[in-house]
A and B are shown apart, each in its own frame.
Chain A
Amino acid sequence: MATTPTTPPTKAPKKKKIYNSGNFFSAPAKVEGNFVTIKLPAKVAQYLDLKDGSKVFWSPVNGVVQISANVPSVVIPMMSVATSGFLPK
C-alpha cells in the first residue's frame, strides 16, 4: 500500500525546570538549537551550576545565559551582580 510522506511532528519547545529555593530564583528558559537561552534580570549572577558539564556564558552587559539544551535542570545562585547594580555618577 502506498504511503503518504508525512512531515515529522514539530516538537514543542522543552520546558526546563529551574530551581527556586531560598536565594535562588526562577527564570523563563527558551530552547534554541542546542542551547537554552535564559534572559536573566541584570542583577543576577553570571555563574550557573549545571547538572552536567554544560557551557556557561558570562555576559556582564546583557545578562544572557546560554546552556546546553540537554541539561535537565539549572540552579542559579544569586551571588553576584551585573549592570543594574552600578551606581550613577
Chain B
Amino acid sequence: MNEKVIDFTIGADPEFACVQGRSIIAACDYLDDNADSDFGSDGNDITFELRPSPSKNPIQIVNNIRDIFVRQVIKQPEFLKFKWVAGSWHKGYPFGGHVHFGLSNNQIRHTDAVEFLDHYVGSCCLLIEKQSDAKKRRSDSYGHMGDMRVQDWGFEYRPMSSWLSSPYVAAAMLCLSKTVMYEVMNNSKFQWHQFVVADDFPKCNQDRLIKQFPAIWDDITKMHLYQTYKPYIDLIYYLVKNKLTWLNANDMKDCWGVVDMKRCIGEKVGVDFLWSRYNLEQSNNTIIQ
C-alpha cells in the first residue's frame, strides 16, 4: 500500500419500482419530488429513486437506505401494499444502481477510475443480473462500459443496474465498489487486469465473463479492503458459482425488513429496535467472524 492513505466517500442513487397487480405505480402520483428529498422519483416520473447520505463506510449506506424505506412507509403506509421490484428492468422501465465516488479529477482521472470499475465491478454485476433484463436495460446507450457522469462532488459510475433487491446484494455491490476504488487510490503496485470488452455490456455476455470470473475473483481477493468486507463481497462469489441472479423470490420490501411487524413481534421488540441494535454493532465494529 502507498504510504499516504486516501480514503473517500461513496454514495448512490439506486432505483426501484412499485407494482400493484399488473400495473406499475407512477412515482409522480405519490411524491412531490424535489431534489433535496432522499426518497424521490427518477426523471421518467415512474421509477422511485433513493438518495442516501454518502459515507466512507458502504455498510452505512445500506443502513441509510433502509432508514429511508422505513421513514417512507411510516409517512405513506400505502407503500406496503405494493410489490417492490429492482434489478435491471421491469415492464419497460430500466433501473440504475449508480454508485458515487467522492473523488475529484485531480485525485484520479475519472475516465481511468471508471475503467478499473468496469473490469471488476461492472463484470461482477453483469454476471449476477438476469440476462434478458440486463440486455433490455442496455438496449440503448444507457449502462454501457465507461458510462459515467462528472458531478460537483466527484463522479458517478453508471453501468450497474439496481442492486436494491435486498440488503445483501446492496452491501455486496457497494463494498466491492469501495474495495476496488480504494485499491486504485492506494496501491500503485497492484497488478490490474482487463476482463471486459465493450460488447459485454449491451449483450450481458455472461458466457464469456464466466470464464474470466476465476481471474477476476483472484484479483478481488488480493485487494486490501476485501478482508474487511469479505462477509458481504463473498455473496457475489456464491451467486456466480451457483448460477443465481441477484433477484430474490421474496418481495423486495420483505428482504429489507420493511414490513408491518406488529403482528409478528412481541411486546417490546420492534423492527426499529433491531436495526438500531445492528447499527450500534456496526458503529462499534463488533462484527465477528
Contacts and interface: CB of A to CB of B under 8 A. Distances in A.
Interface stretch (B22-30, B38-46, B252-260): B252-260
A89 B206 contact: yes
A86 B247 contact: yes
A2 to B, nearest CB: 46
A83 B245 CA distance: 11
Contacts of A45: 257
A50 B254 CA distance: 21
Interface string B95-126: 00000000000000000000000000000000
A59 B250 CA distance: 19
Given A45-B257, A88-B244, A81 B275 contact: no
B248 A79 contact: no
B67 interface: no
Question: Main SS of chain A's interface residues?
Answer: loop
Interface residues of B, number: 45
B257 A47 contact: yes
Interface stretch (B49-57, B186-194, B261-269): B261-269
B166 A49 contact: no
Given A80-B256, A81-B250, A58 B286 contact: no
A86 B238 CA distance: 10
A82 interface: yes
Given A47-B274, A80-B257, A86-B247, A61 B235 contact: yes
A70 B166 CA distance: 32
B20 interface: no
The 5 A-B residue pairs with the shortest CB-CB distance in the complex, in nearest-first order: A23-B264, A79-B257, A86-B244, A60-B168, A22-B264
Interface of B: 130-131, 166-168, 171-172, 206, 231-232, 234-235, 238-239, 242-250, 254-257, 259, 261, 263-266, 269, 271, 273-275, 277-278, 281, 286-289
